[in-house]
Amino acid sequence: MRPAGSAGAGVGTGVEGVLRELAPRVLGMLVRRYGQFDACEDAVQEALLAAALQWPEQGSPDNPHGWLVTVATRRLTDHWRSEAARRRREVEAASLAPTHDLVAPAADEDEAAGRDDTLTLLFLCCHPELTPASQVALTLRAVGGLTTAEIARAYLVPEATMAQRISRAKQRIRAAGASFDMPPPAQRADRLRVVLHVLYLIFNEGYTASSGAQLHRADLTGEAVRLAREVRRLLPDDGEVSGLLALMLLTDARRDARTRPDGTLVPLAEQDRRSWDAGAIAEGVALLTRTLSTAPLGPYQVQAAIAAVHAEAARAEDTDWPQILGLYELLERLAPGPMVTLNRAVAVAMVHGPRAGLDLLSTLDDDERLAGHHRLDAVRADLLEMAGDRSAARDAYRLAARRTTSRPERRYLEGRAARLS
């Protein structure tokens, strides 16, 4: 055993980081060998919990991967034996749990062969039979190594609710007859898009929490970035994988400047850009530059390019809005949607004036996908204020404040309305 705090494990976030890195590889090994994703996933979660409790006090093992595989396999064996005892049927017990095969495999065997099932596991967690919410929850638990309680806290739901969601997701995967294999070549591109979208959803929820007292959930943004790095490690030549990682880095670089010490939201135009993370910006720009020169263009690359234009402006007034508008027009051709149009309206207003932006915004009024969404009202309020219509802007800010479930956003919107009273 290594002493607690030594290289390779460490304590606190060090142990946590090692466990999250190893979780999908351990789970992938077990599912590939024994099947039954749901039972294997539960066993790995128990092994992760045991490691989190023991390693900081007793020191990390010399082979953390092998330790986790051994403990998870024992948990799996115990589970199947318990099931056999409960059913009191020796024949069924033998078919459920061939214990002579349940010898903990040598971790070095797979490690030496360079075997890494992380991408296969991601494809399984993002199975098309699951809802986006279930895909997110299962990805965070199975691939991210988060406990059900951690995921529930991040999404501000009771732990029992999240446990039911994860359980139903695993049952749905079993009912769909999904196997632990890479999708056929004809389906891989579509399935990869689902994986990237799930990571995008995780990042967005962390960057601007949809509800609650905090604007950010750094645990979610950090996990989304980590998983995006993992996917890029496995698919280094995919332009959209690199584009998504670049987008996350360039966006998250602004995190520290987005709130004041009291938690008040600071809009992009008012942020102290000296507080932006220069290292993350440099990495994101370099990543984007490489992928734009070598890979077919996709929506995540275009969004990353928009973020890069913002990042390159030393002051808000230096922002190249015509370039941003052109990029939004391109994005709308590649991936049309109401949120893209909403953001393009802002760029139109900055280039052609607020009335032009409001005209474009009015085309979204009957779009059911944005019905009742506070962002539509917030953007309208901002453009009305730019146009000098203080009364209408105040009403729109108040409506947006009523509709948001994020307390920092509500305080910000109410403050903007109060300024116009």
In angstroms, rounded to a whole number, what is the distance separating the alpha carbons of residues 155 and 212? 9
Question: What secondary structure does DSSP assign to 296-340, as a single string?
Answer: ---HHHHHHHHHHHHHH-SSGGG--HHHHHHHHHHHHHHS--HHH
List of residues 6+ apart from 236 with CB closer than 8 A: 242
Which range, of 22-31, 250-259, 270-279, 310-319, averages the lowest pLDDT?
Answer: 22-31
Residue pair 105/33 in contact by the 8 Å Cβ criterion: yes
The confidence score (pLDDT) of residue 217 equals 87
pLDDT at 316 over 70: yes
pLDDT at 287: 97
Q: 171 and 38 in contact (C-beta within 8 Å)?
A: yes
Which pLDDT score, from 0 to 100, does residue 155 have?
Answer: 81
Please tell me the predicted confidence (pLDDT) of residue 323: 98
* C-alpha 163: how far from chain center: 19
Helix (H, G, I), strand (E, B) or coil at 211: strand
Mean pLDDT of 392-403: 97
Is the predicted pLDDT of residue 242 greater than 80, yes or no? Answer: yes
User: How many CB atoms neighbour CB 193 within 10 A?
Assistant: 15
**DSSP at 405:** E
- Residue 33: band (very low, low, confident or very high) from pLDDT cuts 50, 70, 90: confident
Which residues, other chains included, contact 222 with Cβ-Cβ below 8 Å and sequence gap of 6+?
206
pLDDT tops 70 at residue 282: yes
Q: Is residue 98 over pLDDT 50?
A: no
β-strand partners of 259 = 265
- Least confident range from 58-62, 72-76, 129-133, 204-208: namely 58-62
Token pair recorded at residue 248: 């996350």
**What is the rounded CA–CA span in Å between residue 308 and residue 401?**
30
Phi, psi of 174 (to 5 degrees): -65, -45
**Spatial CB neighbours of 114, under 8 Å, sequence gap ≥ 6:** none
Minimum mean pLDDT among 12-21, 79-88, 352-361: which range?
79-88
* pLDDT of 39 above 90: no
> Contact at 8 Å (CB) between 265 and 307?
no
Q: Give the pLDDT confidence score for residue 7 in this predicted structure.
A: 34
Q: For 64-78, 105-119, 170-184, 228-242, which range has the lowest pLDDT when averaged over its residues? A: 105-119
- Name which of 46, 98, 105 is nearest 70 in CA terms: 105
Task: Express each pLDDT in 54-81 by its tens digit.
Answer: 998 888 888 899 999 999 999 888 877 7
201 or 80: whose pLDDT is higher?
A: 201
% of the chain beyond a pLDDT of 90: 58
Residue 3 has pLDDT above 70, yes or no: no
- Per-residue pLDDT, 62: 86
Q: How far is CA 335 from the centre of its chain?
A: 19
Residue 130, by phi and psi: left (phi above 0), alpha (psi -120 to 50) or beta? beta
- pLDDT of 97 over the 90 cut: no
The pLDDT value recorded for residue 9 is 33
pTM for this structure?
A: 0.82
Size of the chain in residues: 421
With residue 30 as reference, give the H or E element that holds it. helix 13-34
Q: What is the pLDDT of residues 324-337, one digit of tens each?
A: 999 999 999 999 99
Q: State what percent of residues in the chain have pLDDT above 70.
A: 89
CB–CB of 406/208 below 8 Å? yes
What's the average model confidence in pLDDT over 304-333?
Answer: 97
Range 163-180 burial, b when 16+ CB lie within 10 A, else e: bebbeebbebbeeeebeb
